[in-house]
Amino acid sequence: MSEIMEFELSKEFLEHFNPAVEERKDDFIRETLEGVNPADITELLEEFDAEDSKYVLELLDPEVGSRVIIELEEDIQSHFLEHFTSEEIAVFLDHLDSDDGVHILNGLPISKREEVITLVENEEKAGYLLDLLRYEDDVAGGLMAKELIKANHNWTIQRCIDEIRKQAENVQKIYSVYVVDDNGILLGRVSLKRIILAEDNAKIADIYDEEVIAVETYVDEEEVVQTMQKYDLEALPVVNVRGKLVGRITIDDVLDVITEQAEEDIQMMSGISSDVEEDDTVWIISKARLPWLVIGLVGGLLGAKFISLFETEIAIVPAMAFFIPLITATGGNVGIQSSTLIVQGLANSSVFSNSIFRKLVKMLAVAIVNGVILAIIVFGIVIFSTSDQTIAITVSTALFSVVLLASFMGTITPLILNNLGVNPAIASGPFITTANDLLGLAVYFFVAHQLYGL
């Protein structure tokens, strides 16, 4: 059969499946889900409540069930697991790689974690899990799995193949065999391709590749991502400080890290403070959004206070008020553009990337080009529509100055935050907009004050 096994989760399917779950038709459900990819079952179960999901899950082979659980979104997963006993969770862990297992453990209350581990049948697995629990989840040690195929450099290929056979059940995906010495120190790797093509009595020592890239357990997840991306690796061995091989990170975990980081950066840029999703409750979403809104509000109130200093001027020349949004909006836009370019530059930077001074000079040049063009456009339009030369000069001068200042702020803020160890993406958000609003108002009223001589 030549079918492409992609499972279509259609409305029609759900209409048949739904009543079967309600009526607890075991056989129908078992048959329907036979051979379906766990990732698809996960998508399906996300449509049901925890109780129904648990019912369906218990009909499945624990091998499949454990894969289904691991594919669930983090918050759904930990909510879901509240409905399972420690024994039941331990059975799932028995069927999962240790990196996925520890991920589940990390979602459980701390008090429950050790209990679950003691219930894991496979003792080696239980040891792995205890080991992995020690690492923070944003370093190499927290991303790695303990399952991997290790070969001593003195072995023959045949011995290595026997080892793969022995381990085959425990290690889901084998990309390479890692070569170690008698003390477990990582020496290199052999690809499966090489093993297939070698003679059975060849020695590992003769064919392995010494140029293996590895990271140490404490390396930050961002560096893990960069390393795997730069060298196009699908698996990355992890060593301890003494060079002993302790685990491996696979590309699928890194993919998840990349996606999460990108989402986090975008949320930070949008002024959403914690990791929320559209599916969360109204209150959680509101709470995540309020802090930046309040900061923006305080900025706005400070702005109001500032403008009120010019109350008499505005009463005499109300036209001064007309261009307030123009000035603040341009400042905000320019600031966000600048900081985004700097933030992305920081993310991609090499050791020799431009010095801060060169960055500032370049940003200044760009600001002058854009500032001049915008100022000319505004001057032309204001002169044409109001024939008021003073206001045209005021607005265009202020606009030009705001573009320069906002560029400077947008450039320097992420650089400072980055140096302080804060995620610079936050600088492209409401932070810079609020600061630039105030700056823009100050410049505008200062220029107006000078030119009008009020």
How far apart CA 81 and CA 69 sit, in angstroms, is 9
Number of other residues whose CB lies within 10 A of the CB of residue 359: 19
**Interaction between residue 76 and a second copy (CB under 8 A):** no
Contact flag: residue 289 with a second copy (CB under 8 A): yes
Contact call for residue 376 and a second copy (CB under 8 A): no
192: part of which helix (H) or strand (E)?
Answer: helix 192-197
- CB of 34 or CB of 58, closer to a second copy: 34
User: Please, which of residues 291-350 interact with a second copy by CB under 8 A?
Assistant: 292-294, 296-297, 299-301, 303-305, 307-308, 311-312, 314-316, 318-330, 332-334, 336-337, 339-342, 344-345, 348, 350
Q: Is the CB of 66 or the CB of 113 nearer to a second copy?
A: 66
Cβ–Cβ < 8 Å for 334, 301: no
Q: Which of 97, 99, 221, 437 binds a second copy (CB under 8 A)?
A: 437
Is residue 274 near a second copy by the rule CB under 8 A? no
CB of 392: closest distance to a second copy in angstroms? Answer: 12
Which of 120, 269, 405, 427 is close enough to bind a second copy by CB under 8 A?
Answer: 269
Please report how close the Cβ of residue 81 comes to a second copy at its closest, in angstroms: 21
Token pair 């610079």 is found at 424
Sheet holding 215-216, edge to edge: 215-216, 235-239, 245-250
**Which residue of 14, 356, 422, 454 would you call a contact of a second copy, by CB under 8 A?**
14
Does position 352 bind a second copy by CB under 8 A? Answer: yes
CB 51 → a second copy: shortest distance, Å?
19
CA within 13 Å, CB half, 402:
34
* Crossing angle between the packed helical segments 324-348 and 356-386, to the nearest 10 degrees: 160
DSSP characters over 352-392: TPPPHHHHHHHHHHHHHHHHHHHHHHHHHHHHHHH--HHHH
What's the rounded Cα separation, in Å, for the pair 362 and 354?
10
Question: Which parts of 346-432 are beta strand (E)?
Answer: none
Select the span of 20-28, 50-58, 113-121, 366-374 touching a second copy (CB under 8 A): 366-374
What is the token pair recorded at 173? 């995906």
Residues contacting a second copy: total by CB under 8 A? 140
Task: List, in order, residues 6 or more apart from 420 with CB less than 8 Å away.
Answer: none
Asked if 182 touches a second copy (CB under 8 A), the answer is no
Task: Rule CB under 8 A: say whether 35 interacts with a second copy.
Answer: yes
Q: Based on CB atoms, which residue is closest to a second copy, 361 or 422?
A: 361
User: Taking CB under 8 A as the rule, does residue 18 contact a second copy?
Assistant: no
Q: How far is the CB of 134 from a second copy (least distance, A)?
A: 22
DSSP state of 156: B
Among 210, 357, 387, 421, binds a second copy (CB under 8 A): 210
- Contact call for residue 423 and a second copy (CB under 8 A): no
User: What is the DSSP pairing of strand 176-180 with strand 186-191?
Assistant: antiparallel
**Residue 201 touches a second copy, criterion: CB under 8 A:** no
Read off the DSSP letter of residue 233.
-
How far apart, in Å, are the Cα atoms of 274 and each of 95, 296, 307? 32, 17, 33
Work out how close the CB of 2 gets to a second copy at its nearest, in angstroms, rounded to a whole number.
Answer: 5
Centroid of chain to Cα 380: 45
**Under a CB-based contact definition with an 8 Å cutoff, are residues 247 and 171 in contact?**
no
Q: Within 107-166, which residues bind a second copy (CB under 8 A)?
A: 161, 164-165
- 255 touches a second copy (CB under 8 A): yes
Q: Is 178 in the site for a second copy (CB under 8 A)?
A: no
Question: Which is closer to a second copy, CB of 119 or CB of 346?
Answer: 346
Q: Is 241 near a second copy (CB under 8 A)?
A: no
Residues 6 or more apart from 315 whose CB is under 8 A from it?
none
